[in-house]
Structures are given as structure tokens and as C-alpha cells.
A and B are shown apart, each in its own frame.
Chain A
Amino acid sequence: DAKTTQPPSMDCAEGRAANLPCNHSTISGNEYVYWYRQIHSQGPQYIIHGLKNNETNEMASLIITEDRKSSTLILPHATLRDTAVYYCIVDSNSGYALNFGKGTSLLVTP
């Protein structure tokens, strides 16, 4: 079973920030939080990852709570092309056997 809990679906207006929550209350000290997304019928795409600190890259920001039991992926200015299923994954340094769970289906509307 996945170690994370995500809402099954969310909507966001184009141009607004999309905030996708993830609960990982059983995360271990050596486990990273990864975010991937999958646009329909394509392979998953890596977005961002973090261990303890908040992270930002050209695609998104990742906010991890101080107790590391939850995190939020932020897409600052969502576009229609951001419509996808977003997966929050916790994983130790093994990394190669990701447990994707069901993810959050994000719909960005005009």
C-alpha cells in the first residue's frame, strides 16, 4: 500500500496557484518526498523532491511541514498543460521501486 494520502481530484483556474496536499504521517527519517505527474497516456514526469527543507525549481515549489508528516506541491501559475495526475511518493534511497498510489487528478480550467 502507498504510504501517502492524496485527494482524488482537484480543480484550479488557469493562472492561479494550484496547491496539492499530501499526507505522509508514517514517513521515516531517511525517506524523501517525491512528486511526479502523468499527463494522459504519457510516462510520468519528475517534478521535484525534498527531504526536510522547502524546495523550489522551475516547475514547482515543495513545502514540507516541520514534522515532515505532510507536504504541499505548489504550481504557482497553473496552465491548461498542467492538467495531469499528480503523485506524491515517499521513498528511501532505494528510489528505484516507486510506489505511486492513486494520486490527485488536477484539472486546470480556462
Chain B
Amino acid sequence: KAGVTQTPRYLIKTRGQQVTLSCSPISGHRSVSWYQQTPGQGLQFLFEYFSETQRNKGNFPGRFSGRQFSNSRSEMNVSTLELGDSALYLCASSLSTGGALYTQYFGPGTRLTVL
């Protein structure tokens, strides 16, 4: 079974631009979560989608948004990029059907650099 895929793997943008990252979950997984990882703050939860609905959101500004499509693929968007948005953005999918089946499987991440 194919793992979680994320595109693009690397991205360079300039301040003020906006960016869209994509995540394809493992087949059959309906939940997709997004995380930001920086050296200073570590891994931080951004938001989670299940059946095209955002179920939970972390403590990030409104510039960070996401959506999920009917095939469970998900995108996240960051508008008006700031230097501090430079990070590894990770996507994780899970079956999300209760109990320990919430185990998350992570993709390789998208490395975003903002200049």
C-alpha cells in the first residue's frame, strides 16, 4: 500500500507570496492532519480534516488554511508569507475510526523556505 505523499518536496518563496501544499493520504484513510516543524518550536499541530470538514485547529493565525476533497486528498494554504513560515510542513493520515486506530502515518514533508 502506498504511503502518504506530499508535493512539492521543496519550495522557495518570497515574503508576501502565498503557497499551496498538497497531501495524498494512504488509501482508505479519511483523516488528514497537518503539522509545522521548526528548529525553535518543534512539531506543532496546524489542523485536521475528516470527511471534508475541519475538526480541530491548532494555534496558528488565519493566514494558514486548509481543505479536504471528497477523495480525502488535502491541501494547505499559507497566505502573505513571512520569514518565520520557513519550516518543514508534514501531513499525516489515519483511519480515524476510533480507539488506537487514530495512529498517524506521516509523509516525507514539504520543505518551505521563505526569502
Q: Residues of A with Cβ closer than 8 Å to B?
A: 32, 34, 41-46, 49, 51, 87, 91, 93-102
Contacts and interface: CB of A to CB of B under 8 A. Distances in A.
Contacts of B107: 43
B91 to A, nearest CB: 8
A107 B88 CA distance: 22
Interface residues of B, number: 28
| Interface of B (DSSP majority class) | strand
Interface of B: 4, 31, 33, 35, 42-43, 45, 48, 50, 55-56, 58, 88, 90, 92, 94, 96, 98-100, 102-109
A48 B103 CA distance: 9
A46 B3 CA distance: 13
Contacts of B43: 44, 87, 98, 100
Contacts of B56: 94, 96-97
Contacts of B108: 42-43
A43 B96 CA distance: 19
Given A43-B108, A93-B102, A100-B35, 14 more contacts: A32-B100, A42-B109, A43-B4, A43-B90, A44-B43, A44-B104, A44-B106, A46-B103, A46-B104, A51-B100, A97-B56, A98-B43, A99-B45, A100-B43
